[in-house]
Amino acid sequence: MIRRSFSNGQSVSVLGMGCGRVGSISNPTPMREIEATLEAAIEADINLFDTADIYGQGDSERTLARLLHRHGDRMFVVTKVGGRFGRYASILRLAKPLLQVIASSRPNVHNAVVAARTATVVHDFSPRDLLPAVDASRRRLSLDQLHSLLLHSPSVETLRKPEIHDFLAELLRSGKAQRVGASVDSLAALEAAVSIPEVSMIQAPLEVVRVLPGSAILDKIRQSDTGVFVREVLRRSVAGRSDNRSPREALSAAIAPDFVTSAIVGVSTRQHLGELLSLIT
């Protein structure tokens, strides 16, 4: 597996495993197959695993913790905070096994469950709420020090707040995270994030990363040795336009620029993993 480095030599696989659907109510793939897929990824020399505290109501992080127990020295786990579930999240998690069975055979139930889950998510970037979220992720991942902690879809205004800069700096000073950064949704948010001295990782959709060549933002990324992690690589449409490229073309285009550290793709089955691996060899 090709590897690229960022932030003082941290090496990661050019293909990263997106774990957004690990433990998700809407994912019909049995957990034993999901865990076998993650194991197969490690055996294929993939070491980058991307998750968040809200993925699978925390079950994505719990699943990765089991892998870290067995393969900790072969994994680099990126998690994110800033989104949180409302008061009914615990009920959803308890009912998840039953809901998954019902939703897998009834599309209307599946859609209703996904809508209900999405409706319970709110974003909160106040440092007093972010710190407990970081500590909860550390517990779920069984890590005293997170490999990397990203803010999850913060706004430009959030990224410009001095208290957010102080919060990220404190995570590094306290040793709760080795690296910090942001998972952003727009070019403006990306620019705001790379302006924060403590940020060493940026995650963004492919459509945002595409416009970086020739920009002052890219110059700053290069100067600071910031890692650029591309997501939403295999989308069928971008900005309302149909994307007719094959998966091979899309993945190749995503990792072609030398400033891109890795492409993050959601994978649930060993067959899908094998197909992706064949695209980059």
pLDDT tens figures, 214-269: 999 999 999 999 999 999 998 755 555 556 678 888 898 899 999 999 999 998 89
Q: Can you say how many angstroms the Cα of residue 191 is from the centroid of all Cα atoms in its chain?
A: 19
Q: What is the mean pLDDT of residues 94-100?
A: 55
The 3-state secondary structure of 92-108, one letter per residue: HHHCHHHHHHHHHHCHH
pLDDT tens figures, 17-42: 999 888 777 677 888 999 999 999 99
Q: What is the DSSP letter of 153?
A: S
Pair of tokens at residue 92:
């959803």
What are residue 199's DSSP bridge partners? 180
Domain 3-279, CATH 3.20.20.100 — does that match?
A: yes
Tell me how far apart the alpha carbons of residues 235 and 238 are, in angstroms, rounded to a whole number. Answer: 7
pLDDT tens figures, 107-153: 564 555 555 555 566 778 999 999 999 999 999 999 999 999 999 99
pLDDT tens figures, 5-23: 999 899 999 999 999 888 7
Q: What is the DSSP letter of 242?
A: E
Name residue, tokens 């996904």. Answer: 114
pLDDT tens figures, 62-85: 999 999 999 989 999 999 999 876
Domain coordinates in residue numbering, the chain = 3-279
- Of the two residues 96 and 190, the one the predictor is more confident about is 190
Specify whether the CB–CB gap between 138 and 144 falls below 8 A. yes
